[in-house]
């Protein structure tokens, strides 16, 4: 049987890849995709914890996280579209009106 730590390390690697994606990409769609990777990394650790501690609460959690992720993607993409309408681009370099 594969030990818990293997799954957790896999989840950590996935999470780091997500973070890296967020930090280095300029395209807002790519950032949203990286966010999905991070969420899935967390889901993986939840499921493996659930498996190794012998109850289903973790999987219930994953269920809720997926729901929130769906909602988040929907709203995020809607925001992206309105930004694109205004700026004609989804490049984050153009999204800096919060600057001094």
Partner 1 sequence: MESVLFYTFATLVVTTALLVIFSNHPAYSVLYLVLTMFGLASLYVMLHAYFVAAIQLMVYAGAILVLFLFVIMLLNLEREGEESFRSGPSRWLALPLTLVFLVELYTVVMQIHIKGSKGLSVEGNTESLGHLLFTQHLLPFEIISFVLLAAILGTTILSKRNWK
Partner 2 sequence: MAWLILFSPLIACLLITLITLRNSKLSSWIAVTALLISLGISSSFFLKALLTPHWKPMELSIHWITLWSLKIEFGLILDRLSLLMLMVVTGIGSAIFIYSLGYMKEDPGKSRYFACLSLFAFSMLGIILSNNFIQMFIFWELVGASSYLLIGFWYEKDSAADAGNKAFLVNRVGDFGFMMGILLCWSFCGSGLPERTFNFNQIQHIFSEMVGAGLLSPKLLVVAGLLIFCGVLGKSAQFPLHVWLPDAMEGPTPVSALIHAATMVAAGIYLLARLFFLFDASPTAMTVIAYVGAFTSVFAASIAFVQNDIKRILAYSTLSQLGLMVLAMGLGGRLEAMYHLTTHAFFKALLFLGAGSVIHALHTQDIWDMGKLFKKMPITSITFLIGTLALCGLFPLSGFWSKDEILLLAFEKNIFLYRLASVATWMTSFYMARAFFVAFLAPEKKIHHPVHESSWTLTGPMIFLAIGACIAGFIHIPEFILGHDVLESHINLPIAFTSQAMSLSGIVIAFFLYAYRDAWGAKKLKEIFKIFHIILSRKYFMDDLYNGIVKYIQQNIAVLCHLTDRNLIVRFGVNGVAKITKTSGEFLRFCQTGRIQTYALFFFAGITVIVFVFILK
Binding residues for partner 2, rule: CB under 8 A, are 19, 22-23, 31, 92-93, 95-100
Shortest distance, position 22 Cβ to partner 2, whole Å: 6
Chosen from partner 1, partner 2, none, partner binding at 96 (C-beta under 5 to 8 Å by type): partner 2
Angle at 71 between CA 67 and CA 74, to 5 degrees: 140
Closer by beta carbon to partner 1, 65 or else 100: 65
Binding-site partner at residue 79 among partner 1, partner 2, none, CB < 5 to 8 Å by type: partner 1
Question: Contact 58/38 with Cβ under 8 angstroms?
Answer: no
- Sign of the Cα torsion 32, 16, 11, 61 reads negative
Return the bridge partners of 91, or none.
27
Q: Residue 100 touches which of partner 2, partner 1, none (CB < 5 to 8 A by kind)? A: partner 2
Q: How many whole angstroms separate alpha carbon 13 and alpha carbon 39?
A: 12
């Amino acid at each position: 049987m594969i030990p818990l730590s293997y799954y957790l390390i896999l989840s950590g690697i996935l999470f780091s890849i997500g973070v890296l994606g967020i930090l280095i990409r300029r395209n807002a769609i790519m950032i949203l995709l990286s966010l999905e990777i991070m969420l899935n990394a967390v889901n993986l650790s939840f499921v493996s914890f659930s498996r190794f501690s012998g109850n289903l609460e973790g999987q219930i959690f994953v269920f809720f996280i997926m729901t929130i992720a769906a909602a988040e993607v929907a709203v995020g993409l809607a925001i992206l579209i309105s930004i694109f309408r205004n700026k004609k681009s989804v490049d984050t370099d153009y999204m800096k009106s919060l600057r001094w």
